[in-house]
Structure 1
Amino acid sequence: MSPLTSIICLANSWKHGDRCIAGINPETGRWIRPISDLEDGRIPRSMRLLEGKEPQLLDIIQIPLGKTGNDFGFESENLSVLPGRWKKQGQVTTKEVLRYCSSEPYILHNYKKFVTVPELARKPFALRKTLQLVHVTEFFVEKKQRETGTNQYKATIVSRNGQRLSRLGITDPLFVKKLDQGNEPIVPCLVTVSLSMPHRPPNWEGDDPCWKLIAAVMELETNDYDDQDELLDLPF
Structure 2
Amino acid sequence: MTQIICLANALKYGDRCIAGIDPTTGQWIRLISDLADGRITPEMRLIDGQEPALLDVLEIPLGGSNLTELENRSLLPGVWKRVGRVAPAEVLQYCSESEILHNAEKYVTVTALNALPLSERRTVQLVYAQEFSVCSKPKAQGGRSWKGSLVTKTGQTLTNAIITDPVLIDRLDLGNFLQTPCLVTVSLGMPHRPATGWEGDDPCWKLITGAIELN
TM-score of the superposed pair, with normalisation by structure 1: 0.88
Corresponding position: 1:59 with 2:52: no
Deviation of residue 69 (structure 1)? 3.3
Q: Distance in 2 between matches of 1:100 and 1:124?
A: 21
Q: Is the 8 A contact 1:76 1:130 kept in 2?
A: no
Q: Deviations over 1:42-80 (max 9, x none)?
A: 101100011211000000001100113374xxx331010
Task: Kindly indicate which of the two structures has a greater share of residues assigned to strand.
Answer: 2
Q: Deviations over 1:65-110 (max 9, x none)?
A: 0113374xxx331010111111111000100000100021x10000
Structure 1 pair 70/177, CA: closer, same or farther in 2 (3 Å)? farther
Secondary structure of 2:64's partner?
coil
The equivalent residue for 1:34 is 31
Which structure 2 segments of 5+ residues have no match? Answer: none
Q: Distance in 2 between matches of 1:12 and 1:174?
A: 9
Pick aligned residue for 2:107 from 110, 114, 123: 114
Q: How much is the aligned-residue C-alpha RMSD, in angstroms?
A: 1.0
The equivalent residue for 1:77 is 71
Secondary structure of 1:56's partner?
coil
Q: Percent identity?
A: 56
Amino acid in structure 1 at the alignment position of 2:190? M
Q: Is the 8 A contact 2:65 2:71 kept in 1?
A: no
TM-score of the superposed pair, with normalisation by structure 2: 0.97
Number of residue pairs the alignment of both structures matches = 214
Which structure 1 segments of 5+ residues have no match? Answer: 222-236
Structure 1 pair 80/67, CA: closer, same or farther in 2 (3 Å)? same
Q: Is the 8 A contact 1:135 1:188 kept in 2?
A: yes
Q: How does 1:7-156 map to 2 (within 5 A)?
A: 7-69=4-66, 71=68, 75-104=69-98, 106-156=99-149
Q: Deviations over 1:186-226 (max 9, x none)?
A: 100000000000000023110010000100000001xxxxx
Secondary structure of 1:174's partner?
helix
